[in-house]
Amino acid sequence: MRKCFDAKKYLRIQKQKIMERIKMFDKLYIEFGGKLIDDQHAARTLPGYEPDLKIRLLQELKNEAEIILCINANAIEKSKIRADRMISYETEVLRLIEFLRSRGLLVSSVVITLFDGQKKAKDFAEKLKDYNVRTYFHTFTKGYPTDVDTIVSDEGYGANPYIETTRKLVIVSAPGPNSGKLATALSQLYHESKRGSKVGYAKFESFPVWNMPLKHPVNIAYEAATADLNDKNMIDYFHLEKYGETVVNYNRDLETFPVLKEILTRICGKSIYYSPTDMGVNMIGFCITDDEAAKEAAKAEIIRRYYRALTDVKRGIAEPIIPERIKLLMNELEISEKDRVVVKKAEEKRIAAGNLPSAAIQIGKKYIVGRKTGYLSPISSTMLNAIKHLTKIPDEVDLISPAVLEPILDIKNRTSNFRESYLKFGEVLVALSICSTTNPIVKKAVDNLDKLRGAELHATHLIPDDEMVVLSNLGINATSGTEVDIN
């Protein structure tokens, strides 16, 4: 995909927009939606956007900003998993703390929301002591969502403890949706206001892009990404009525805006916002440099989302309605799962290999294929073939000798209750890294892994979770079929 986004411009004008909003208040709370780090959806949908841009933005603001992380006590109790990394929300919070601090950013507090005595939440709070971070418990807000008199009172937001903050800008973020960011921010506004502070609230969401057309593929890609939440993009009718300007928001923000505006008015004495779009500070739409390229990238992302939804259904972590919703979006754009050419190439390899599980990866205009072998998973063999191609190593040359692979597979099966007939890609990467210390050709091949970032890959069989995580970490856009490979 050709680039269509100006990251340098984005950092410049996004920082300027936030600074303008900060100047309006003594203290500003910004609810950060989406992923704070590893924003792969934005990177895939708008090539040129870099997954760490939000972190770089915060580093530009680090002297003014501190960060509060929210996690829902029920998510802790149910061991909720962040699907793209296959780690729990608790682990993601700890990872965020370590990562943000390593970038010089202040993580001041963690708020455990919707707390009702859950034991695992208490245990997690104990663990947070090792990270030298203050932990607060917030309960369900009495009166929410309709009884504003109770919500904005000492029985409502006032019942939660005040979170001590020291900076002018407070970022409220979370490991995933439904973590209580809004309630935490509004509770803080209530407490700050009672302390006599001129305090403000803003929202930072990358998608949908408010100043792009409602049916633009980039905005429809957001609907595909949130098909599990059944989010729907809509014209912001509050904004249209006030300003005569057509902009885009989504259903949940529009539905809750009247109550939110009333809450802000009660807390602050007045509300400066006439629409959900007014609350936003996102400038991403001003940094798209090639609209046609953005459309094509977004369409490709929607198709990938469709394949991933099918596999999530197969894994039992999604309802069948989710791929059906995405399919309707594809029909709206007149695109099809058949438009993903790498799928066809993988299926052709499967047939040629006698129905063995196979995969294909696109490198430029070339398609590299691989199949399950005596030692390697289809992903492992395909990825080895890909880096051999980039390193100009002949097909007949083994990057890793069977004499190396065989004992690794043997010890793996001796120490596992489940016998596998191949090595997965993460295991192969370890073997490659060891071989690279003595073999300069292997080292060059390993170094070429970076050149595969952004490549498209498809496997004919269900890719195991651990292999999918490795591919994601390498920035490879992977999809798979739903048939399970039986060893």
Asked whether residue 281 falls in the same domain as residue 386, the answer is: no
CA trace torsion 228, 229, 232, 233 (10° rounding): -100
Asked whether residue 59 falls in the same domain as residue 142, the answer is: yes
Asked whether residue 31 falls in the same domain as residue 120, the answer is: yes
Domain that holds residue 81: 7-212+245-287
Beta strands 65-72 and 169-173 are parallel
Any domain includes 18: yes
Any domain includes 327: no
Burial of 40 (0-12, 13-18, 19+ CB in 10 A): middle
Asked whether residue 31 falls in the same domain as residue 143, the answer is: yes
Please, what are the averages of pLDDT over each run of 10 residues along the chain (487 residues)?
A: 94 97 96 88 95 95 96 94 81 96 96 97 96 96 94 96 96 94 97 94 96 98 95 97 97 95 93 95 97 98 97 93 98 97 98 96 96 93 96 90 81 67 88 91 94 96 93 94 79
Burial 241-278 (b: 16+ CB within 10 A, else e): eeeeeebbbbeebbeebeebbebbebbbeebebebbbb
The pLDDT value recorded for residue 416 is 66
The pLDDT value recorded for residue 487 is 57
Phi, psi of 150, rounded to the nearest 5 degrees: -80, -40
Burial 314-351 (b: 16+ CB within 10 A, else e): eeeebeeebbebbbebbeebebebeebebbebbeebbe
Asked whether residue 63 falls in the same domain as residue 176, the answer is: yes
Judged by phi (left if over 0) then psi (alpha if -120 to 50, else beta), residue 263 lies in alpha
Any domain includes 233: no
The pLDDT value recorded for residue 417 is 64
Any domain includes 2: no
The answer to whether 185 and 262 are in contact (CB under 8 A) is no
Any domain includes 315: no
Asked whether residue 184 falls in the same domain as residue 266, the answer is: yes
Nearest to 138 by CA among 156, 152, 164, 153: 156
Asked whether residue 42 falls in the same domain as residue 172, the answer is: yes
What CATH number corresponds to the domain at position 400? 3.40.140.40
Nearest to 139 by CA among 120, 164, 121: 121
Q: Omega before 145 cis (within 30°)?
A: yes
Phi, psi of 162, rounded to the nearest 5 degrees: -75, 135
Place of tokens 């190439």: 345
Beta strands 366-371 and 199-204 are unpaired
Any domain includes 314: no
Phi, psi of 432, rounded to the nearest 5 degrees: -60, -45
Any domain includes 179: yes
pTM assigned to the model: 0.92
As for how many domains the chain has, the answer is 2
Asked whether residue 354 falls in the same domain as residue 283, the answer is: no
How far is residue 249's CA from residue 467's CA, in Å, rounded to a whole number?
36
The pLDDT value recorded for residue 38 is 84
Asked whether residue 274 falls in the same domain as residue 355, the answer is: no
Asked whether residue 86 falls in the same domain as residue 164, the answer is: yes
Choosing from 253, 287, 321, the residue where a domain stops is: 287
Asked whether residue 141 falls in the same domain as residue 15, the answer is: yes
Any domain includes 323: no
What CATH number corresponds to the domain at position 88? 3.10.630.10
How far is residue 430's CA from residue 411's CA, in Å, rounded to a whole number?
14
Asked whether residue 262 falls in the same domain as residue 352, the answer is: no
